[in-house]
Amino acid sequence: MKSESQLKKVLSAGHFAVTAECGPPKGADAAAVINKGRMLKGAVDSINVTDNQTGVVRLCSLAACALLKQEGLDPVLQMVTRDRNRIALQSDILGASALGIRNILCLSGDHQSFGNQPQSMGVFDLDSIQLIQTVHQMREDSQILGGDALSQSPDLFIGAAANPFADPFFYRVIRMAKKVRAGAEFIQTQCIYNLERFKEWMIQVRDRGLHEQVYILGGLTPLKSAKMAEYMRSQVAGMDIPEELVIRMKGVPAKEQRREGLKICVETIQALQEIEGVKGVHLMAIEWEEAVPEIVKEAGLLPRPN
């Protein structure tokens, strides 16, 4: 089966890309993956499948991606270095390509102590940048780590994450530059709520010319409630939610807060479209995937290109 990355196709044609995140179920439930995929079909270009996100055991990303592929969707395999050593990672990279999966997002992963297996051993044989380098070497040089030749190279569009909101701020762009140098071709950022800081970061990105070397997709998570905004503001590391956003959410009655969250999300997409170097958005509507088609529609991003 000839297969190509829809995400790469959309981005290289100069369209503003839309990707969404899909969390696999906590069980051997293929239908749950397929249903989420069908819900997103037509509304997005590609679908990221998380890899045991927050260290919680779920159906594996590789299998979920294969299920989405069968549905005619373009999955993005998220792969973390927390759980597998370089033998398993490289093996899964080959397997993913063989199954027709054409995108990979290389991550180090949330620390195991945050999940439901806190006593597990964190592997971290490679870090995320080394994983990017590995996939790139496998694809470009047809070689695994150590130099052994592959009988066939994997065909994968290589992605990485960037968090403009972690500290120290000046370093965040250096880290992304390293990812680009290692071989990343697209970037999906941490959730953007603090647009001002994101804009400052994008200035640094453009100063280094990185916006011309990598496709940057702004990450967004619609807020469901004022409570969620407050929780994320105070409890989630690496998350930057300005106080005025919490105040805005609190300012509407509880039953209208979801609506307000979607509205904020749509406004942010429109603001991102105006920023030079932002080539798309990545929607992480956690356990709220049904919100995605509506957001994309209201943002005026339908229909998606073929």
Partner 1 sequence: MITAERKPLDEIITMISPFKKLLIVGCGSCVAECASGGEKEVGLLGSALRMDARLTTREMETREVTLERQCVYEFIDQLTGLIDQYDAVLSLGCGAGVQAVAEVFPQTPILPALNTLFLGQTKEAGLWLENCRGCGDCRLHLFADICPITRCAKQLFNGPCGGSQGGHCEVHPDVPCAWHLVITGLEAQGRLDLLEAVYPPADWSKKQGVGFRKIVREDQQ
**Can you read off the two tokens belonging to residue 108?**
């180090």
Instruction: Name the one range near partner 1 by CB under 8 A: 38-46, 66-74, 165-173, 251-259.
Output: 165-173
Which C-beta is closer to partner 1: that of 5 or that of 112?
A: 112
Q: In angstroms, what is the minimal distance from the CB of 251 to partner 1?
A: 27
Site track 123-142 with partner 1 (rule: CB under 8 A), x = hit: -xxxxxxx--xx--------
Is the four-CA dihedral 281, 7, 49, 40 of positive or negative sign? Answer: positive
> Side chain identity at 89, as an amino acid letter?
L
Which C-beta is closer to partner 1: that of 238 or that of 251?
A: 238
Which C-beta is closer to partner 1: that of 115 or that of 280?
A: 115
Q: In angstroms, what is the minimal distance from the CB of 63 to partner 1?
A: 25
Q: In angstroms, what is the minimal distance from the CB of 134 to partner 1?
A: 8
Which of 57, 87, 98, 174 is close enough to bind partner 1 by CB under 8 A? Answer: 174
Q: Is 76 exposed, middle or buried (0-12, 13-18, 19+ CB in 10 A)?
A: buried
Instruction: Name the one range near partner 1 by CB under 8 A: 37-45, 152-160, 168-176, 245-253.
Output: 168-176
- The DSSP bridge partners found for residue 159 are 105, 186
35: Cβ contacts below 8 Å, ≥ 6 apart: none
Q: What angle do CA 124, 125, 129 make, to 5 degrees?
A: 80
* Integer Rg of the chain from CA: 19
DSSP SS3 for 89: helix
Instruction: Name the one range near partner 1 by CB under 8 A: 21-29, 109-117, 150-158, 209-217.
Output: 109-117
Instruction: Name the one range near partner 1 by CB under 8 A: 18-26, 106-114, 198-206, 226-234.
Output: 106-114
Q: In angstroms, what is the minimal distance from the CB of 94 to partner 1?
A: 18
Q: Is 188 exposed, middle or buried (0-12, 13-18, 19+ CB in 10 A)?
A: buried
38 binds partner 1 (CB under 8 A): no
**Can you read off the two tokens belonging to residue 305?**
């290109």
Which C-beta is closer to partner 1: that of 177 or that of 295?
A: 177
Which of 156, 26, 9, 160 lies closest to 81 in space, CA to CA? 160
Instruction: Name the one range near partner 1 by CB under 8 A: 69-77, 122-130, 199-207, 297-305.
Output: 122-130
DSSP SS3 for 243: helix
Task: Please give the residues from 184 up to 213 whose contact with partner 1 meets the rule CB under 8 A.
Answer: 190
Residue 305: asked if its preceding bond is cis (omega within 30°), the reply is: no
Distance, CA of 33 to CA of 72 (rounded, Å): 13
Distance, CA of 88 to CA of 249 (rounded, Å): 44
Q: In angstroms, what is the minimal distance from the CB of 117 to partner 1?
A: 14
78 binds partner 1 (CB under 8 A): no
**Which spans of this chain sit near partner 1 (rule: CB under 8 A)?**
82, 86, 108-111, 113-114, 122, 124-130, 133-134, 145, 161, 163, 165-168, 171, 174-175, 177-178, 181-182, 190, 237-238
